[in-house]
Structure 1
Amino acid sequence: MPGPLNGRTALVTGATGGLGSAITRRLAADGATVALAHLHDDQAAAELATHITDRGGNAIPLAADVREAEAVSTLCHQAHDALGPIDIVVSNAGAYPRRPWTETTPTHWDEALATNLTSHYLLAHKLTPAMAATGWGRIITIGSVLAAAGRHDLTGYISAKAGLEGLTRALARELGPVGITANCIAPGSIRVPAEDTVVDDPEAMTARQLARQCVQRRGRPDDVAAAVVFLATEDAGFITGQTLRVDGGWILA
């Protein structure tokens, strides 16, 4: 498929979720071969891979728990064996556990960091040596504007996302000299189907959100996917260590 990512191979974690599937489809549409990493979502991953291949792209589904070092190692070896060296990693896997601060135990804290921070470290640590050997690579982490805005009942999640921005900046310093850029995308309030299962009054929630934003519409997964593709291209080769907020102007400072 012709596009700015022709000849590149990407690995996307959390590939079957609302953001992940949009990111994966856009990468493939712009020419990348894509490994779709997912957790316990075989049918959705297979359907997404078929959607891409039916349109002339190349994608394979791979199951892995990216919170576990051994599973990440296996995932990366499988992706390499099937598709060749990974040029682009979109570290998107995460979870959004809501729990009051007073009820947040050390176990809950550890789980939030394992899913939303440690998993990103494990993936980058495994994939960047091969990128360095070729002198080219893109690390794109998916954070959240809540790292800047804060919100109740999300202490572990927000702390992890703030740490992810720090990890991304550190990787930019470490890896820039060998041709690898590292950037974080921080989505705002993005409309995804999963929202319907956790929001009691979607219309009221949308009204509150629009009052925070400059752009008067809800964000879409494709908005995030477009930012990912830009950061993955040659055009973004002089951009690293940055957090790009895709939030309709929610956070301006």
Structure 2
Amino acid sequence: MTTPVLDLPLTARPLQGRVALVTGAATGIGAATARALAGAGATLAVNHFTQIAQARTVLDEVRRLGTDGIEVSADLTDPDAVGLMVSQITSEIGPVDILVNCAGAYPRTTWEETDEAAWAHALDVNLTMHYRTSHAVTASMIRRQWGRIINVSSVNARAGRCGLTAYSAAKAGMIGLTRSLARELGPYGICVNTVLPGAIQVDAENTLPARHRARPEDQIARQCVPRRGQPADVAAAIAFLAGPSASFITGQSLHIDGGWILH
């Protein structure tokens, strides 16, 4: 389901002139974030890996919102590919001002089945590759004395969940990454924050085996706000953190979960 983003007039676009890279932007929260940032005036780099049709659809939506961008395919687990992606973005639309680390995977594996390979993969796709993308863009941000990095973690970083031990550990690592980078980069005008989505309704949940799917009514009962979370709920918070109104907010972790976990 696509939730429309308000097409703000040019004078109300706080990100006009900024370049935003959203990883994992072809679907779900990433796609909604690309639309939200475009609605705020940013030029978009829509990152994906092997999802070119979906990425081009998102890019078409970005252009309908009155801004422009490119789609960039890159395997973020490959350090060389990350460097080439950032070079392409810089060459075609300019240096990255805003990075949203949204790409990831949701590998469900019981603790007994979590071997070295499964553990390493979960940490790579949900933590290490965000180090790679952040490291690739921060030198330019430091030179220009401005930047925003928003990491997409998960409520499972705090709650934990059976079958998601490695995933939850990686998402908790993103909180530590956020706090440390906030201290490292704050003197250069760079704010680093993380959002922790709850049970957000995305198409990918339909691909989970039935035994791993929570009943919507059970999830809603855990929350203070009795409805399913939508990608646009998360995207709106990210757009705020990317903008000038959040220039004194850094190192923070914002839950977007309808009051599932009161932190």
Which category describes the TM-score, using the shorter chain as reference length?
A: over 0.9
Q: Structure 1 pair 132/204, CA: closer, same or farther in 2 (3 Å)?
A: closer
Matched residue, 1:160: 170
CA 1:31–1:129 in 2, change beyond 3 Å: closer, same or farther? same
Cross-structure match for 1:234:
244
Distance 1:166 1:228 in 2: 18
Given the alignment, which residue of 112, 122, 125 partners 2:132? 122
Query: In the TM superposition, what whole-angstrom CA distance separates every residue of 1:88-133 from its partner, at most 9, and x where no partner exists?
Result: 0000010000010000110011100110000110011110010011
Looking at structure 2, the residues matched to 213 and 8 of structure 1 have their Cα atoms a distance apart, in angstroms, of 35
Distance 1:208 1:238, change over 3 A: same
Q: How many residues align?
A: 253
1:210 is aligned to 220
* 1:181-220 CA distance string (max 9 Å, x none): 0000000000111222226389961111111110011100
CA distance in 2, matches of 1:71, 1:198: 29
Cα distance in 2 for partners of 1:199, 1:30 equals 37
Please give the alpha-carbon distance, in whole angstroms, between the structure 2 residues aligned to 1:202 and 1:113: 20
- Equivalent of 2:61, from 40, 51, 67? 51
Q: TM-score, normalised by structure 2?
A: 0.93
Letter in 1 for 2:66: G
Aligned residue for 1:28? 38
Unmatched 5+ stretches in structure 2 = 1-8
Q: Deviation digits for residues 4-32 of structure 1, max 9, x if unmatched?
A: 11111100000012111100011111100
Structure 2 match to 1:84: 94
Which residue, 134, 143, 146 being the options, matches 2:153? 143
Structure 1 counterpart of 2:106? 96
Q: Secondary structure at the match of 2:210?
A: coil
Inter-partner Cα distance in structure 1 for 2:79 and 2:249: 29
Report how far residue 56 of structure 1 moved: 2.2
Amino acid across the alignment from 2:197: P
The partner residue of 2:188 within 178, 196, 200 is 178
Q: What is aligned with 2:79?
A: 69
Q: Secondary structure at the match of 1:112?
A: helix
Q: Do 1:35 and 1:61's aligned partners in 2 also have CA atoms closer than 8 Å?
A: yes
- 1:134 aligned to which of 140, 144, 147: 144
Q: Which residue of 2 aligns with 1:252?
A: 262
Report the counterpart of residue 3 of structure 2 in structure 1: none
Gaps of 5+ in 1: none
Identify the range of structure 1 (119-128 vs 41-50) with the bigger mean alpha-carbon deviation: 41-50
Contact 1:13–1:93 at 8 Å: present in 2 too? yes
Q: Is the 2:77–2:125 contact (alpha carbons within 8 Å) kept by the matching residues of 1?
A: yes
Aligned to 1:200: 210
RMSD, aligned α-carbons: 1.5
Map of 1:106 onto structure 2: 116
Cα distance 1:8–1:210, how it changes in 2: closer, same or farther (>3 A)? same
SS at match of 2:150: strand
Q: Which moved more, 1:217-226 or 1:198-207?
A: 198-207
Q: Residue deviations 1:125-178, cap 9 Å, x none?
A: 110010011110000000000010110001111000000110010000000011
1:53 Cα deviation after fit? 1.6
Distance change (3 Å), C-alpha of 1:177 and 1:8: same
Aligned-pair identity in percent equals 49
